[in-house]
Amino acid sequence: MTRLTHRLDRARRLAAAAGVDGLYITAGANFRWLTDEDAHPGGWPLWASIAIVPVEGDPAMVISRMHADIFSLERSPIVQVFDYVDGEDPVPALRAAFAVTGLSRGTVAVDDAMWFGDADLLATAMPEIRPRRAAAVFERLRAVKDADEIEHLRKASAAHDAGYARAREVIRPGVTVAEAGAAIVAAMTAAGSGDLALSGVFHDLSPRPFAAGEIVDIDLFPGSHGGYRADSARNLFLGEPSDEARRMYEATLRAWEASMAAVKPGVPAQSVHRVCAEVMAEAGYEQVWKVGHGVGLAPIHEPPLLQDGNDDPLEEGMVFTIDPGAFIARNTPIHIEDTVVVTADGVESLTRFPRTLDELVVG
């Protein structure tokens, strides 16, 4: 069984368990996961890019002629492909696709991120097909990564490590945010990252120079490999940290260690967040963001979400962040964020860059 055929079967099983007749998947992370193809974002009326996966029957795909010429359709387990040219009405292609799936009425599960234009297109083409939000399907579809996905995330994390090493070399008082950001991106791409963007202080690559005494938030999301985005963060301290900064950092490190120790298969996701929040609270700080979120093909957070209210059990192969911390000033967090993978008996951090405070003081 090929990797994509295995994914198609998993999608069918989850749809059946959720009590729907099939899945209606539009452009985005789930479309790419199922097809290995990255349809242009935007949804209809820009593009209609749709995979229809019935619980029983043949799957089908609707894409523009441009996408058909770009995609490697010969490797897809979805062999029924219907295309249209930009400017044409895609309704006939969509109706033809539904016809080969055997679905003319019933309920299809849709992703929360589906564009309204895509929902309107479905209602126009197939008025007897009812879309239904199905978190039970889409929150589990990609939550457990296979070996290939974990290897992509391991390589993305290695590129992050290269970025932090370069950041520690280049960030000094007087160096601009733009200069440092360009150097970090160059180091990450040389190490295999497929993204040119950064976050944290580098969200805006401004000409502002770094200042002595500054606490620099380095968030290297969305550094990626093969489309899979790792997420991690470190602080650099430009000079000796204040007593309060040192105290907050040491509390954050203890919370990171406690959170990592709490991760293992079968543990409810929320319990890891609660362990982190308790350690931070004991030190007098509040953990105001969820301690972890899944990473992968999504442009930002994806399941599993390690937050209060989520008692879904962690599973071997899940990849997510561990990110304890607190704000020491407006929009200036002190935090330690790693991308980690759940193993058979615990957890492995894919982010290797040092976490001890002395190794993060520069300039």
* 250, burial (CB in 10 Å: exposed 0-12, middle 13-18, buried 19+): middle
CATH (residue range 3-141): 3.40.350.10
The residues facing 237 across adjacent strands are 215, 361
Question: pLDDT per residue over 164-207, tens digit each?
Answer: 999 999 999 999 999 999 999 999 999 999 999 999 999 999 99
Give the integer Cα–Cα distance in Å for 150 and 15. Answer: 24
Is the CB of residue 280 less than 8 Å from the CB of residue 287?
yes
Per-residue pLDDT reduced to its tens digit, 221-267: 999 999 999 999 999 999 999 999 999 999 999 999 999 999 999 99
Helices 269-282/243-262 angle, 10° precision: 150
CATH for 147-362 is: 3.90.230.10
- Topology match between the domains 3-141 and 147-362: no
Q: What is the pLDDT of residues 287-316, one digit of tens each?
A: 999 999 999 999 989 999 999 999 999 999
CA dist list (Å): 145 to 252, 294, 313, 341: 28, 10, 15, 9
Q: So where are the chain's domains?
A: 3-141, 147-362
Angstrom distance (rounded) from CA 167 to CA 69: 41
- What does pTM read for this prediction? 0.95
pLDDT value for 1: 55
Per the prediction, the chain carries an average pLDDT of: 96
